Amino acid sequence: MSVRDTIIEKLSVKFAPEHLEVIDDSHKHRGHAGWREGGETHFRVRIATRHFAGMSRLAQHRAVMAALDDELKGGVHALAIEVIAPGSPTEFPKTIA
């Protein structure tokens, strides 16, 4: 199973998200620290789940990172996390490069 698929599975089981995107951004970091041939080193997670209701942004990010502890201790070098409230439009803001 790919790292991306593992991340999807773990977050789906843990948080039952209404919306979940896991994007492998490794190609954008070619030659940078933590990058390796074959990718699966830099990910972006976009998630909406009722599980995060009432939690601070820091607590939300910590919960995601705790769920992916093995991956973060393994080959995942970077993880960007974007959280929106459930029921909100699932259009995430575009990142300006």
Q: Percentage of the chain with pLDDT > 90?
A: 57
Query: H-type helices in 18-95, by residue range?
Result: 57-67, 69-73
pLDDT greater at residue 27 or residue 49: 49
Least confident stretch, 11-15, 26-30, 54-58:
26-30
Q: Which domain holds residue 46?
A: 3-84
The average confidence (pLDDT) of the chain is 83
Q: Is residue 11 part of a domain?
A: yes
pLDDT band at 89 (very low <50, low <70, confident <90, very high): low
CATH number of the domain bearing residue 19: 3.30.300.90
In this prediction, residue 25 carries a pLDDT of 79
Cβ-based burial of 63 (10 A; exposed 0-12, middle 13-18, buried ≥19) = buried
Q: Is residue 20 part of a domain?
A: yes
Question: How many domains is the chain partitioned into structurally?
Answer: 1
Closest CA to 79 of 92, 93, 64: 64
Q: Is residue 45 part of a domain?
A: yes
**How far is 45 from 17, CA to CA, in rounded Å?**
12
Mean pLDDT of 20-43: 71
